[in-house]
Every structure is written in structure tokens, then in C-alpha cells.
Amino acid sequence: MPDIILASTSPYRRELLARLGFPFECRSPLVDEETWKQMGLPPRELAEELAQAKAASLAREFPNSILIGSDQVCACEGRTFGKPATAERAREQLAFLAGREHQLITAVAVHHAGRWRTHTDVTRLRMRPLAAEEIERYVAADSPLDCAGSYRLEQRGIALFDAIASDDHTAIIGLPLLALTRLLRECGLAIP
């Protein structure tokens, strides 16, 4: 079995990939995400390009490995939201998303033996209207500073929503395992 490299430092993606039960390594991708975000790409294209760029950035160091890159973008009414990094930006993002439907776009790209395999998952979410105090309490409770859209559905963030339509709930956390297992089987991995 070839080595499997996850081009990510995300603890969420590492935890999700570990659920599949095979050995892998996590490596920091050699990609400046901020430069990509300034290119003005549409949200879906941005997620797909970044996922592929993350995996490709490690190809020279690991030419015989299976490389996995993933990226996630939150999009609402023509705006793109990434990781807020600060509590103030998280509150601003949540105030904008409150009472609106948005998309969480999660792309995954797998490179092996000179071939790319890709998948993009689009989840539709409708956040309920939120008062400023609710947003304040939520950000203090979950500290979603490293989450696109400023929420953690796997924690208290689930209480912020009226509806969620998703083909794969693991995509919401950051790595669509249903699609990824298919892509890895196409690479010749035996996955139960």
C-alpha cells in the first residue's frame, strides 16, 4: 500500500481520516491560502482549486504517495466566508448569516500515480435568526475561530440552525468521507 499523506494541519480532517482505519501522515501544505482568496474566484472554484493546490504542493516531496487535499468555503449571497480567526470576526460572520440560507462547499482532491480524482460537496444550511446576545454566548462557548462560517455543527453550533441539507455530514466538518472512500478505492486501496 502506498503511503497516504493528508495535506492538512486541521485536527478535524485528521480525526475524520483516522476513522477509515489505515495509517497516514499529516503534512502542512505549502500553499498561501490568502493569496488564493484574493484572486476573486467564485466560492466553489476557490475550494476546488485550493484542495488541489494543497495536495499538489507536496507532490515533489512525496512522489509515490497518495496525496489528499481538502478545502472548505462558506458562501452566502455573493460573499465568501473563511475562518474568522478572531471572536469579533466570528460575531460579524454569524450576524450576517443569521436568518439566511448559505452553502458550505467542501472540496477534496486526491493525487496518485499522476492522476487526479476530485469531489465537491455542497451542503445547504439555513441559520435561524439570532439576537446579538445569542451570537455572543455562542462564540464564547464554542470559540469557532478556525471554522469557515464561524460555527461548529458537531458542538453547540447545531442550535443555530433551522435546516441542513447534506449528502454527507462529514463534509460539514471538513472532509467528505463518503466521496473520499470512493476516490481512495479508485486508487486501489482496500477499504471495508
Query: What residues act catalytically?
Result: 71
Interval 136-154: pLDDT, tens: 999 999 999 999 999 999 9
- Return the bridge partners of 28, or none: none
State the chain's mean pLDDT as an integer: 96
**Looking at the domain 4-186, which fold is it?**
Maf protein (3.90.950)
Which of the four pLDDT bands, split at 50, 70 and 90, describes residue 5? very high
CA atoms within 13 A on the CB side of 58: 26
pLDDT at position 1 over 80: no
Domain residue ranges of the chain, discontinuous segments joined by +: 4-186
Interval 24-77: pLDDT, tens: 999 999 999 889 988 989 999 999 999 999 999 999 999 999 999 999 999 999
Residue 177 is predicted with a pLDDT of: 98
CA atoms within 13 A on the CB side of 135: 21
Interval 176-192: pLDDT, tens: 999 999 999 999 998 87
Q: Exposure of 157 by Cβ count < 10 A (0-12 exposed, 13-18 middle, 19+ buried)?
A: buried
Alpha-carbon gap, residue 113 to 66, rounded angstroms? 8
Q: What is the DSSP string of the chain?
A: ---EEEE---HHHHHHHHTT-S--EEE-----HHHHHTT---HHHHHHHHHHHHHHTTTTT-TTSEEEEEEEEEEETTEEE----SHHHHHHHHHHHTT-EEEEEEEEEEEETTEEEEEEEEEEEEEPP--HHHHHHHHHHH--TTSTTS--TTTGGGGGEEEEE-S-HHHHHT--HHHHHHHHHHTT----
Residue 133: CB atoms within 10 A of its CB come to 8
Residues in the chain: 192
Are the CB atoms for 89 and 143 separated by under 8 Å? no
